[in-house]
Amino acid sequence: MTPIWTEKHDTAKRVKQRLSTIFDWAKGAGYYHSENPTNGIERFLPAVKRSVEHMRALPWRELPTLMKQLSKREGISARTLEFLILTVTRSGEARGARWSEIQDGLWVIPKERMKADKPHRVPLTGKALDVLEALRGLDDNLIFPSNRRDRNGHTKPQSDQVFVALQKRMKRTDFTIHGLRSTFRDWCSEYAHAERGVAEAALAHAFGDKVERAYARSDMFDRRRELMKRWGQFCLGK
């Protein structure tokens, strides 16, 4: 483990985990009779100092320019990215959006597709609704379908690589898709002066300590709807 523990730490951790599984199985099957040699091995390996890597985030003042560039591009991936920005959702949540989740200007993402394992209501305003109308009729299930199909002939969602390809075509390497959520968060703090709880709820983030979360039953939907309306206007340069 020593040669890769600091040079390839993530790989080394996976190797350790698999070795541990092998020795546990061997011991249970009667092929190995000593203690699992991976137990406590970290105490004898070099210390690893990990630096925090932040996702590249577009400065919020530059967001309207990006939206203007996207509006001039054809193709589903550009519409998906527009929708993702306007709803400040995660890549998988946007790419997997289904028509059945849209009701009366509201997008309800089921808990099965949410990181926090609970439903998330997203108010759709202005441009986000326009994006949906532009794609209506492409597929009965998926809003942003790919051109691939599964073994049963059903349309598959776009992969996360569609954004990589889109950014290459646009010659935009100055941000990551997840970093766009940070762009929204910075806009909330520096421009909109939104309350922390409302901004975090818009991002479907848990906030506060355990006691605060226990009493935070509301998803602040009405206040989020107003915030998302302002965000949508800002994205369009208004």
CA-nearest of 123, 73, 81 to 102 is 123
Q: Is the pLDDT of residue 212 over 60?
A: no
For residue 34, what are its two tokens? 């000593």
Three-state SS for 122? strand
CA–CA separation, 187 and 230 (whole Å): 11
How far are the Cα atoms of 61, 90, 198 from residue 83, in angstroms, in the given order?
Answer: 19, 11, 20
Alpha carbon distance 89, 102 (integer Å): 15
pTM of the model: 0.74
**pLDDT tier for residue 43 given thresholds of 50, 70 and 90:** confident
Contact between 140 and 147 (Cβ < 8 Å): no
pLDDT one-digit tens code per residue, 50-90: 655 556 899 999 999 999 999 999 999 999 999 999 999 99
* Domains in the chain: ranges and CATH: 2-44 (no CATH), 60-235 (1.10.443.10)
Residue 213 has pLDDT above 70, yes or no: no
